[in-house]
Amino acid sequence: AQKVTQAQTEISVVEKEDVTLDCVYETRDTTYYLFWYKQPPSGELVFLIRRNSFDEQNEISGRYSWNFQKSTSSFNFTITASQVVDSAVYFCALGKVYNFNKFYFGSGTKLNVKP
Amino acid sequence: SAVISQKPSRDICQRGTSLTIQCQVDSQVTMMFWYRQQPGQSLTLIATANQGSEATYESGFVIDKFPISRPNLTFSTLTVSNMSPEDSSIYLCSVAHQETQYFGPGTRLLVL
């Protein structure tokens, strides 16, 4: 079965704090994609990152970093020095490589960054 | 990345009426998708729309309620028919492009 779990429903931090959003997935596929999306209050879903299952290298983009660990089936997302503009709902998703209409979203984590 | 636009961005409708949502992408894509996001919930796939063939609907969604058109490789429409308050949601279209799904800005629908 394919499943994505985001156990943190809502997180509140104060500006400049670091915050990590957890994502745990389940799949029987040997190759797959993992994604993170940001949904600000405006409602648009903004693509942040895609990871292929055979590339476990961590990635950093500015204040954002992602830790992919196949051994624990996790793909966690860290925001360093959070800002108010980071306030949004963040979704982790699992995608099948050869059947791209099969996209499995987590339930989302709402991040509130307070000034 | 693919740039996607949707019309309308939001609407308030009366129950029993229908609304057609348009989705336009700036490049030709094979696969387009329609999702529903109910308030405070995650995304649920309604159907996959491929050009030149009937849309493929997910369990719980039927063509009579959510007819979809896909006349070419850059455009699709989703109609929400005979609306009820339970249809109040954000409707998002997305496209598969370069091994990623990109999403439109969404259509916020409120049914009274």
* Tens digits of residue pLDDT in B60-82: 999 999 999 999 999 999 999 99
To the nearest whole Å, the CA of A14 is away from the closest chain B CA by: 23
Q: Would an 8 Å CB–CB cutoff place A82 in contact with chain B?
A: no
Span A96-113, average pLDDT: 87
User: DSSP letters along B9-60, please?
Assistant: SEEEE-TT--EEEEEEESS--SEEEEEEE-TT---EEEEEEETTSPPEEPTT
What pLDDT is attached to residue A54?
Answer: 87
User: For A107, which of B42, B48, B106 is closest by C-beta distance?
Assistant: B42
Mean predicted lDDT score pLDDT of chain B? 94
Span A80-108, average pLDDT: 90
Task: Tell me which DSSP letter residue B98 carries.
Answer: T
| pLDDT tens digit sequence for B33-58 | 999 999 999 999 999 998 888 899 99
**Token duo for residue B105:** 């800005």
What pLDDT is attached to residue A58?
Answer: 85
Contact criterion met (CB below 8 Å) for B30 and B96: yes
Chain B 53-112, residues with CB within 8 Å of chain A CB atoms = 56, 90, 92, 94, 96, 99-106, 108
A90 versus A30: the higher-pLDDT residue is A90
Q: Is the pLDDT of residue A97 over 80?
A: no
| pLDDT tens digit sequence for A37-71 | 999 998 899 999 999 998 888 888 899 999 999 99
To the nearest whole Å, the CA of A81 is away from the closest chain B CA by: 26
